[in-house]
Amino acid sequence: MIQLLLSGVYGAIAMGSVVLYDLDRWPLALASLTHYLIIEILFEPMALYLEWIHTLPEILIMIGIRLICYFIIWLIIFLIYRKQVRELNNMQESFKDTKKESQK
């Protein structure tokens, strides 16, 4: 029962901290790093308490897996944002060109 309760609390905090990505003033890297640290600080003590992990190598492997996952997710989001910015810039240039053509 305690595992279910702590897992639920962990999941709620992990999902609740996703709002960091909605902070417009925060760069994607800062939001990702902060979210990762929240997850890491919560997970390790909980996993040790619940005996999901037992040894230092297990802890390091879990940290490594999460770091790789976070990097992959960050890279995907970064590439999506970069594509959207390029599309918006192209639309803006197209609009400027159309506006110049109509003023002639």
pLDDT at 82 over 80: yes
Task: Report the pLDDT value the prediction gives residue 104, as an integer from 0 to 100.
Answer: 63
Per-residue pLDDT tens digits for 50-63 = 888 899 999 999 99
CB 67 within 8 A of CB 39: no
Average model confidence (pLDDT) across the chain? 88
The predicted model gives 21-34 an average pLDDT of 87
pLDDT at 103 over 90: no
